[in-house]
Structure 1
């Protein structure tokens, strides 16, 4: 860091979510930077990276909402994607080089019959060109350097995988609902292999992610047009939206004061919340803290600072 004080990032202390419908050809980090600038926000981050060529919902957490990011990242999400049959690429998407091809073209019934193997708790090997770390180095860096990359399979929960369209013999459109850490490119690759015809992703859109939907998202054009105006602020959704699936426990005024200081605070019991459950405490409708419920108290692991 060098000598002297670290430069403090200027900007507004705003907390909440801005839902973006990401355009193709842009990294998720670039979208975060654009939103931070447009809102003059001090702090921003995203919940779950999308590949540069992918489109769809990218939820941008602002300020204190960044503390709820893991809950959105862990939540179920849905993708609509197009698989090009008959070709495998080294990147498992349309950006890479074709490394194998086939004249075989399975019919819809054959494809549907194979989809069941990709549903439930499956083991998935991430693409060689991915941000997975191998011995501390990103897989894609090693793959670019020409190394033969070996990535271990990891578990993935797939709620649903369905065929939604077959525009022509070479292409199939699928929709997948899955948990954290799923690679659509791996599904395309493995499905192509299972069908004996190879495959890779040529289009990918995240339709929803946890509580956020792509159709509610702002386009980059809208964000640029409304940048630094009060109107853009009206699109900010409350921090609490990021806590969607967790139970809410209302706290007493004393409990809220204790929680704000990082201590366990008294909460009113709620139906279905048991000892050790993760929950969030609210006071007068605003999230105070996130933590574990134990015997009438919330033990906080994240406290929200309201300015």
Structure 2
């Protein structure tokens, strides 16, 4: 029999405004420690030098992580022109230089090619797996890899600032799996001037916004204090992008036991994914069929 995991049975979402210089995993471990929580996870890795929204799920909220991971996200980032690096950001080694600098009009025109369904090659230093091993581990050993391009949906990509000829600030809204460093690299190539990310901030992720996030200093200050619990958002916050159906307490019991249960909903189509609630609390996520929710993932009552 496995050893029971120590900690509190506490559930909800904490929005962290991640600082630069720490990994996403380290932030999750810090949050789990601060709440003395049994279980924690995050929705969407940020590079160690990136800042902004890191949504951390505790307890039952970890079951809603896929819905935040799949949601649209927004980034604000600054691209440095004139140099390519092996990591596609300022932390890496410069591997090529260019004296070319594009004008504002050229940049805005080039951005059109990065909107919509695009194909993107992840950076050499990334967490994608190549033959079962993380690319960054092989890159650290000096290996150059062929990484397959993968699709990315880019909702918007706009120029928001130009501090000087060497730099441009952009904002991007995109779907799951986007690498901002690849956008900077490929934009530099498209403009013939080379480029890499100087700084990167995720300003929102699904329903969560950086301006509402707690800093690590605040988390440290409130660690183990019941006052920290007040900053937790409910499990249901992770389901904001899914349609909601409602059910009675009797049907909620059926659904939580893994059986189809009748729900009240409007506008749902047969087979559509949705979540059921009872008295405002999440019961399950599943498929709507003929007036009933067929659960795929249930939540503790």
- Calculate the TM-score normalised by the size of structure 2: 0.99
- Report the TM-score when normalising by structure 1: 0.97
Please report how far the alpha carbon of residue 172 of structure 1 lies from its aligned counterpart in structure 2 after TM superposition: 0.5
1:171-210 residue pairs with structure 2 within 5 A? 171-210=167-206
The offset of 1:6, in angstroms, is 3.4
Corresponding position: 1:75 with 2:71 = yes
Aligned-partner SS, 1:276: coil
**How far has the Cα of 1:145 moved from its partner?**
1.4
CA shift for structure 1 position 7: 3.1
Following TM superposition, by how much is the alpha carbon of 1:272 offset from its aligned partner in structure 2, in angstroms?
1.7
CA contact (8 A) 1:125 1:154 kept: yes
* Matched length: 301
Equivalent in 59, 62, 65 of residue 63 of structure 1: 59
Q: Matched residue of 2:231: which SS?
A: coil
CA distance in structure 1 between the partners assigned to 2:245 and 2:206 by the alignment: 20
C-alpha distance in structure 2 between counterparts of 1:196 and 1:102, whole Å: 8
Secondary structure of the equivalent of 2:105?
A: helix
Name the CA distance, whole Å, in 1 between partners of 2:30 and 2:103: 44
Pairwise CA RMSD: 0.8
Partner of 2:152: 156
Deviation at residue 143 of structure 1 after TM alignment? 1.3
Which ranges of structure 1 fall in alignment gaps of 5 or more residues?
A: none
1:98 Cα deviation from its structure 2 partner: 0.4
Aligned partner of residue 234 in structure 1, secondary structure = helix
Provide the C-alpha distance between the structure 2 equivalents of 1:66 and 1:157, rounded to a whole number of angstroms: 25
The equivalent residue for 1:84 is 80
**Aligned positions of 1:25-44 closer than 5 A:** 25-44=21-40
Cα separation, 2, equivalents of 1:244 and 1:294:
21
**Equivalent residues in 2 for 1:1-307 (5 A)?**
5-268=1-264, 270-306=265-301
**Could you tell me whether the CA contact under 8 Å between 1:76 and 1:209 is conserved in 2?**
yes
